[in-house]
Amino acid sequence: MNSVFKPRKTKIFVFGFMFVSIACTAYPWINNFFTSSSSSSIHYRSQFSSIFSYIFPNSSLVSTVGSSGSGLTVDFKQKDGILVKNLGKKSADNKKGGSLNERNMNGSGVTVNLIKSLIECDLFQGKWVKDESYPLYIEGSCPHIYEAFNCFLNGRLDKSYQKLRWQPNECNIPRLNGSDMLERLRDKRLAFVGDSLNRNMWESLVCVLRNSVKDKNNVVEISGRREFKTEGFYSFLFKDYGCKIEFFQSPFLVQEWEMVDNNGHKKETLRLDIIESSLSKFKDADVIVFNTGHWWTHEKTSKGKDYYQEGNHVYNELNVVEAFHRALNTWAKWVDANVNPKKTLVFFMGYSASHFSGGQWNSGGACDNETEPIKNETYLSSYPWKMNVLETILKGMKTRISYLNITRMTDYRKDAHPSVYRKQNLTETEKRSPERYQDCSHWCLPGVPDSWNELLYVQLLIQQH
C-alpha cells in the first residue's frame, strides 16, 4: 500500500508547488487588471475581451457593451491625434434588435444608413410632392410671423401650397424634428445674417422649433424689439434649451455708407471694401447662415451709377456683377479672418427665385392668380448670375462653407408667395395696385422656407455625425 501511495503523494506535491508558483507570478497582473476594471464603468464582459486581446494580440476588435446592453463591435484607433471608435458588425448575442445601421442612433430616427444616403445625395435636385402631414406647424398658431408673410392672417383661403414638401431625386430627407434640433442646439447660438429672405427663413425656424416646445411661455424675445416692422436685430431664447435663434438685417453684407459730395449734400453709397459693421457681433455664434442677393436687383444697385465706393473713390459707373463680386470677396476675407471654423458652422443660402408676371416688383408684376407650382422644367428660369459669382468666391475660401443652393427648388414655387395677401383688410382698389401690394419675392408662412430649414436640419445632422 505504501508503495502505491508514494508516487501519488509526489505528484500531488509537484502539482501543488506548480499552482502556488503560477499564482504568485500572476497575482500582480490579476490584481492590476481587476482593480483597473472596477474603477471604470466598463461592463464585466469587456474584461474577457481584454484577456482575449492579451492572449491574441493581433486582434484589434474589442466587444464592448453599451448602456442598453447591446454588444457592438468597436475598433479603436487614432485619428488626427484623437482616439476614435469605428462601429463594426454587431455581436451575435444581440440579434433581436437588428443591425446597427437599422437602430435608432439618438432617439430622433437618425441612423448610419440615413446619414450615408444624405452625404451621397444631391439634396437640391428634386421635386415638390404632395404630403397631407404638412405643414410643420398649423397656420395661425405662431405669433412671431411678420404681417407681410402671414398670408393666413391676411385672408388667403387656399391651403394647397402648404401641403407640399421637397423630395430630392436621390434620397429621402427626414422631417424636421424640432425637439431633436433644439437638443443639438442646446446652449448654442444660431444666427441668420442677410436680407429679408433670410428673415423669412429665420421666422420659419422660430415657428417650427416653438411648435415642438411644450411650454410656449419659455420661448421669449430677448432683443428688446416687439415690433417686427423695424429693421435690425432680433433674438429669441428657447429657455428650456438655453438656445438662441437670431436674425440681423444686412441686405448687402457690406457697409451702406453716407458721404458729402462737392456741393455739400449727403449722398448714399455702398462700400464694397468694408464689411457691415455689426457682423462682428455674430462671429462667435455656433451656426451662422448668411445670404444676400435681392437688393442687388434694385434700380440703384443694378444700374451702378455713382453709387459703389471703395476707399474715397466713388465709381461713376460700375457693373453690378463686378460690384457683387467685390462685395462677396470682402465678406469672404472677413469670414476667413474672423470666424473660427472649429467652433462655428457657416452656411450660405442661395438666391431665392421671384415670380413677377407682367413686370417686376416695382413695375406692375403680379402672382396673385398662381395656385399651383411649375411642373414643366422648361418653364424654369435660367440660373442667376449672382450664384455663379458666389460659387466662384466660395471655392477660393479657406473656411468651409456649406452652400444651401435653394435656387432651383424655389423656382418651381410660383404659387407660394404672399402676392396681394401681404396686408390685412385690402380693398379691391388696393388689390389691383400691384406696385404697392404684390409681393412675389417673399414667401407665405407656413410655406417654402420651412423646407429650407429642413435642409438646414439635414446639414446639421451630417456635420454633427
Please identify which of the residues 49, 63, 196, 204 carries the catalytic annotation: 196
Per-residue pLDDT tens over the stretch 287-308: 999 999 999 988 889 898 999 9
Whole-model pTM? Answer: 0.75
Q: How many CB atoms lie within 10 A of CB 391?
A: 14
Please identify which of the residues 354, 441, 442, 451 carries the catalytic annotation: 442
Asked if 355 is an active-site residue, the reply is no
Mean pLDDT over 80-94 rounds to 34
Mean pLDDT over 67-89 rounds to 32
Mean pLDDT over 279-285 rounds to 93
Per-residue pLDDT tens over the stretch 136-153: 999 999 999 999 999 999
What integer pLDDT is reported at residue 364 of this predicted model? Answer: 58
Asked if 196 is an active-site residue, the reply is yes
Please identify which of the residues 368, 415, 439, 450 carries the catalytic annotation: 439
Mean pLDDT over 23-43 rounds to 43
Q: By three-state DSSP, how is residue 438 classified?
A: coil
First to last CA, the chain: 76
> Could you tell me the three cell numbers for 463?
456635420
227 band by pLDDT with thresholds 50, 70 and 90: low
Closest CA to 255 of 302, 293, 310: 310
261 band by pLDDT with thresholds 50, 70 and 90: confident
> Could you tell me the three cell numbers for 419?
402676392
What are the φ/ψ torsions at residue 13 (nearest 5 degrees)? -65, -45
Asked if 442 is an active-site residue, the reply is yes
User: Mean pLDDT across the chain, nearest whole number?
Assistant: 79
Q: Burial letters for 193-220: b for 16+ Cβ neighbours within 10 Å, e otherwise?
A: bbbbbbbbbbbbbbbbbbbbbeeeeebe
For helices 448-464 and 112-119, angle between their N-to-C axes, nearest 10 degrees? 110
What are the φ/ψ torsions at residue 77 (nearest 5 degrees)? -155, 165
Residue 210 backbone zone (phi > 0: left; psi -120 to 50: alpha; other: beta)? alpha
